[in-house]
Amino acid sequence: MSGEDSRVARTSGRFSIRDVLSGSITAIANVPDAMANAALVGVSPLNGLYALLFGSPAASLTTSSQYLTVATTAAMALAAGDALQLVPQGERLAALGALVLLVGVLSIVLGLLRADSFLRFVSNAVMRGFLTGVAVSIVANQIPELFGSSSELPSRIAQAFDVILHPGRADLATLTVGASTLAVILLVERWGAPKIATLVGLIVVTAFVSRTGWSPRLVGDIASIPQMLPGLQVPSVGMILALAPSAVAVALIGLVQTAGISKTTPNPDGTYPVIARDFLGQGVGNVASSLVGGIPVGGSVSSTALNIQAGARSRWSNFVIGPFIAGVLLLMAPWVELIPMASLAAVLILVGIRAVDVPRIMTVWNTSWTSGFVMASTFAATLLMPIQYAVMLGAVLSIIQHVYSSSLDVKVVALRRDAAGRFGETRAPESLDPGEVVVLDIYGSIFFAGADVIEKELPDPTDADGAVVILRLRGRVDVGSTFLGVLRRYRERLASNGGTLLLAGVGPKLHEQLRRTGLLDEIGHHAVFRATPYITESLDAAVRIAEEWRSGRLR
């Protein structure tokens, strides 16, 4: 058994009555969310319940995390809705199956490849801008449903403003239903029952609408809810290629959410989950969901927190979600059809508003102008572009931000030995004097733009006959071809002025890189000092040789 497998086995947990109770509470909270998220996708609320029925229990059996609740999320639903927006209504379910299947396969592959390490290249500024844009988009997307009105404008943001600015077009009964749902939810939360507030809000308002005879749009007007479990369906393989870019975006959103939970939520035994294994579990959940027409599922922050608060002991608490949803479909389908769509819109609007994390936004904004710019750009892209393109733009902005920030952190300093034999840092000289021995150290990235900054900060060797520059490279493993070009050019400049370049602290991998590129022969084997376990040993040797060379002993 591998180390990872044994780690998962140690935290597999045993089934307990606490898991049944916590799983039931988590399922109850997810019923309205799943139906509302299905509305975001543009399909029947039934498809949201199908995702919980099969996707959540399948994922629970395969994740590394005991507590991670894989369920429908508004961010993934919004991205899926964007992907299916141009698909004809008659083909939407087939396209949904293909999209969710592809999301599952991609997640499994990324899990097997341990792709969680690549997520560190997505900056916090990009994620904050993206998540805030998703939150605002969710709110804007539901404004027309809440008001019972519509707009012909092209974007969801423009439609939301158009509806709000023309209140006379609103349907009073629909708006009252939505506002009442919000009021009941907030009141129940204030009275100390936040875990069931959403469910209570839907039940109270649905009962009120049924008794008054009002006629807002209901779930049953969108699709009938049969009192039966879904049959298996084969996703449309022919649509997979066309939906591939969108599936990548949906999968990445789910993976980012899952990774955030896995990094901060330890298992019952105190160990943290294997994130790659949680990716794989999310993928299995999506494959299962696709086979019954469910919407995408991913790690849910709120549901995971609720699961823990409700007393979960093991992964079986999330498995219980499936049987509970089966009971809802078999016993409560007629009542589900009576839920007003405006009430589901109110639920999503509340989710969207609460997802706007102002303190974290301000933290990014006040960090630096580059972080603020990247966050604002990603936010704007999420509002104005299809989600899949916004995700890709965010990834590009992360890379640009990383390269730019790395170039700013680059610094070349001089190391000078004091009377006690200790090396101290001073500012690197702008130019070299004849016969001078200078030891230089480098801080920051030496790749791409960083290498160009370093070249400009190296002391000018013009007219510095006999000068020796010792460049300390301890800890550098792979320096890149750009920096190798900097070394080559600087050695040539030193040599043309009667000086020489020595390299100290060169590790095995860097030494091999110098050999493969031919730079070791150009600099000279005698001028490259290999790193040892003692931090300054190779540097001391280089300084000694430099002093001897300068004094003419080796000439």
Query: For residue 372, what are the domain limits?
Result: 3-145+244-336+356-402
Q: Residue 252: name the closest of 364, 353, 129, 394 by CA.
A: 394
Q: How far is 311 from 319, CA to CA, in rounded Å?
A: 14
Same domain assignment for residues 302 and 394: yes
Q: List the chain pLDDT tens, one digit each, 555 residues.
A: 444 444 444 445 566 788 888 888 788 778 888 888 898 898 888 899 999 999 999 999 999 999 999 999 988 998 898 888 878 888 888 899 999 999 999 999 989 988 777 776 677 788 788 878 888 888 888 898 899 888 888 778 888 899 999 888 888 889 999 999 999 989 998 887 776 787 788 889 999 998 887 778 887 777 777 888 888 887 777 788 888 888 988 998 888 888 878 877 888 888 888 988 999 999 999 999 999 999 999 998 778 877 887 778 889 999 999 999 999 889 888 888 888 888 888 887 887 888 788 998 999 899 888 889 889 998 998 888 877 678 778 778 877 877 777 666 788 999 988 888 788 889 999 999 998 999 999 988 787 667 888 888 999 999 888 899 999 999 888 888 888 999 999 999 999 988 899 999 999 999 999 999 999 999 999 999 999 998 889 999 999 998 887 776 444
The one-character DSSP state at 477 is S
Q: Is residue 235 part of a domain?
A: no
State whether residue 339 is helix, strand or coil: coil
Same domain assignment for residues 516 and 383: no
Same domain assignment for residues 422 and 389: no
Q: How far is 346 from 181, CA to CA, in rounded Å?
A: 7
Confidence (pTM): 0.70
Check which CATH number belongs to the domain holding 418 and give it: 3.30.750.24
- Give the count of domains, the chain: 2
The one-character DSSP state at 444 is S
Q: Which of 379, 402, 425 is the last residue of a domain?
A: 402
Q: Residue 31: name the closest of 199, 223, 146, 203 by CA.
A: 199
Q: How far is 362 from 431, CA to CA, in rounded Å?
A: 43
Q: How far is 67 from 53, CA to CA, in rounded Å?
A: 18
Q: Is residue 185 part of a domain?
A: no
Tell me how far apart the terminal alpha carbons of the chain are, to the nearest angstrom.
62
Same domain assignment for residues 373 and 432: no
Same domain assignment for residues 391 and 419: no
Same domain assignment for residues 300 and 387: yes
Q: Residue 484: name the closest of 432, 448, 459 by CA.
A: 448
Same domain assignment for residues 448 and 537: yes
Same domain assignment for residues 380 and 439: no
Q: Is residue 207 part of a domain?
A: no
State whether residue 453 is helix, strand or coil: helix
Q: Is residue 122 part of a domain?
A: yes
Q: Is residue 103 part of a domain?
A: yes
